[in-house]
């Protein structure tokens, strides 16, 4: 019996050992290595030499860094507002048995199965200044003045790319809220109706508070997704024209793989990591709270 206990105690480690090793080699180790690289001048060819904080000093003086950071913030702002409100509204509307609900739901979450590369390509074509659907439509209805170079105007390009992200994100948020609504006890809703609440009051005072755990998750996921944004920018503009649509991940990619400043690129990733870490911890904290409920 004693042996059994020892073995029993040992078994979780036996289960964990292989996956954990793989995970450490490919994810945890590289993460730490990035931090090391950010203090070197590695150019991808010679061997890295430690140069202290120089990469960070350079980074904080680099205007492109601030452009990219601002763009990430714009992205974040859009992501935690438009898809959340839109997705919630859709979920509330489609949670009831309205005619064609299934069709509506499918339409909104279908963009989610497309890869970001495909989204980027399809939308690049939509945005094509001469023959794209958007400008052609605007011209058709006589709004020639509004037919812009969506991806070439530095004031528009970032919003144009974010719009594609939003297009894809709304359905995702809707699905999450729909799932959340499944968990809302209908008797509570009925009770509020009996108490004379209007539809809006019910939503505001009963349903929304009940959905708040979902909202937290949605917001955190949206923030993380906006920090990770890369594919759309890479496919649609590569950060151009002149960095106006650059985001951190893309800036890092260009510095590391285009300008061969691997150490500098690593410093950018570390900043990116620190930014996300704040939200990751927020998320972990929430997970921990649910853990306590067990």
Partner 1 sequence: MKRYLLTLLSLVAILTVVVACAPQTVTVTVERTVPVRETVQVTVEKPVAKRIVIYNSYMSDPAPREADAALVKMFEEEHPDIDVIHSTIAHEDFKQAIRAYLTASTPPDVMTWFAGNRARFFIDKGLIMDISDVWEKEGWNESYPKGFRALSTVNDKQYFLPASWYWWAVYYRKDIFDQYGLKPPQTWDEFLQVCETLKKNGITPITIGTKYPWTAAGWFDYLNMRVNGPEFHINLMLGKERYDDPRVKKVFTDYWGVLIQKGYFLENAAAYSWSEALQFMIEGKAAMYLMGDFIRDSYPDELEGNLDFFRFPIIDPNVPIGEDAPTDGFFIAANSQHPEEAKLFLAFLGSVKAQQYFADTLGRLPTNMGVDTSKFTPVQLKGLELIKGADYVAQFYDRDTTPEMAEKGMAGFMEFWDNPGAIDDILARLEAARQEIFAGQ
Partner 2 sequence: MSARQFFRSPWRTAGYILLVIVTLLWLVPFGQALLTSFRSYDDIMIRGFFSLPKTLSLNSYREAWERGGMRYYLPNSFIITIPSLILTLFFSSLSAYALARFRFPGNRAIFFLYVGGTMLPFQVLMLPVFRLTNALGLYDTYWGLIAFHTAFQLGFCTFLLRNYMRTVPGEILEAARMDGCNEFRIWWQIMMPLTLPALAALATLEFTWIFNDYLWAIILLRSDHLKPVTAGLATLQGQYVTDWTVIVAGALIATIPTVIVFIFLQRYFIEGLTLGATK
Interface with partner 2, residue 233, by CB under 8 A: no
Out of 48, 86, 149, 213, the residue judged to bind partner 1 by CB under 8 A: 149
State yes or no: cis peptide before 241, omega within 30 of 0: yes
Applying CB under 8 A, which part among 111-119, 163-171, 258-266, 276-284 lies near partner 1? 258-266
* Partner whose binding site includes residue 127, from partner 1, partner 2, none (CB under 5 to 8 Å by kind): partner 1
* Partner whose binding site includes residue 158, from partner 2, partner 1, none (CB under 5 to 8 Å by kind): none
Answer yes or no: are the C-beta atoms of 263 and 41 closer than 8 Å. yes
Measuring CA to CA, which residue among 270, 268, 274, 267 is closest to residue 250? 268
* Interaction residues for partner 2, span 40-69 (CB under 8 A): none
Applying CB under 8 A, which part among 17-25, 73-81, 152-160, 202-210 lies near partner 2? 17-25
Joined together, the tokens standing for residue 126 give: 């939509």
The least CB distance from residue 77 to partner 1, in Å, is 24
Residue 159 CB-density burial (10 A; 0-12 exposed, 13-18 middle, 19+ buried): middle
Interface with partner 1, residue 105, by CB under 8 A: no
**What is the secondary structure of 147-183 as a DSSP string?**
---TTT-TTTHHHHHHHHHHHHHHHHHHHHHHHHHHT
Applying CB under 8 A, which part among 162-170, 191-199, 202-210, 239-247 lies near partner 1? 239-247
Interface with partner 2, residue 25, by CB under 8 A: yes
Applying CB under 8 A, which part among 123-131, 165-173, 177-185, 197-205 lies near partner 1? 123-131
d(C-alpha 268, C-alpha 248), whole Å: 7
Residue 40, strand partner residues: 50
Interface with partner 1, residue 257, by CB under 8 A: yes
Question: In the chain, what is the straight-line distance between the N-terminal and C-terminal CA atoms, in Å?
Answer: 30
d(C-alpha 256, C-alpha 92), whole Å: 45
What is the DSSP-derived secondary structure letter of residue 24? I
Question: Residues interacting with partner 1, by CB under 8 A?
Answer: 3-4, 7, 14, 18, 44-46, 63, 127-130, 148-154, 237-238, 240-243, 254, 257-261
């Amino acid at each position: 019996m004693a042996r059994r206990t020892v073995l029993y105690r040992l078994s979780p480690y036996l289960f964990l050992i292989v996956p954990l090793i793989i995970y450490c080699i490919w994810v945890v180790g590289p993460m730490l290595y990035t931090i090391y690289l950010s203090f070197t001048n590695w150019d991808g060819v010679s061997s890295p030499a430690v140069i202290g904080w120089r990469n960070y000093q350079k980074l904080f003086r680099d205007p492109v860094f601030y452009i990219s950071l601002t763009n990430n913030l714009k992205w974040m702002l859009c992501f935690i507002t438009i898809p959340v409100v839109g997705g919630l509204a859709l979920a509330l509307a489609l949670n009831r048995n309205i005619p064609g609900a299934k069709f509506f739901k499918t339409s909104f979450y279908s963009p989610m199965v497309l890869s970001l590369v495909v989204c980027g390509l399809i939308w690049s074509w939509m945005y094509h200044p001469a023959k794209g659907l958007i400008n052609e439509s605007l011209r058709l209805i006589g709004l020639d003045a509004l037919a812009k170079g969506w991806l070439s105007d530095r004031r528009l390009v970032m919003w144009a790319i974010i719009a594609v992200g939003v297009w894809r994100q709304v359905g995702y948020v809707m699905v999450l809220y729909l799932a959340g609504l499944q968990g809302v006890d209908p008797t509570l809703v009925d009770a509020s109706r009996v108490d004379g609440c209007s539809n809006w009051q019910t939503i505001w005072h009963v349903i929304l508070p009940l959905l708040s755990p979902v909202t937290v998750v949605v917001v955190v996921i949206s923030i993380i997704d906006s920090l990770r944004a890369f594919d759309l920018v890479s496919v649609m503009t590569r950060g151009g024209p002149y960095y106006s649509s650059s985001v951190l991940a893309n800036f890092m990619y260009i510095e590391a793989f285009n300008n061969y400043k691997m150490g500098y690129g690593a410093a950018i990733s570390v900043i990116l990591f620190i930014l996300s870490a704040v939200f990751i911890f927020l998320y972990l904290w929430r997970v921990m709270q649910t853990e306590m409920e067990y």
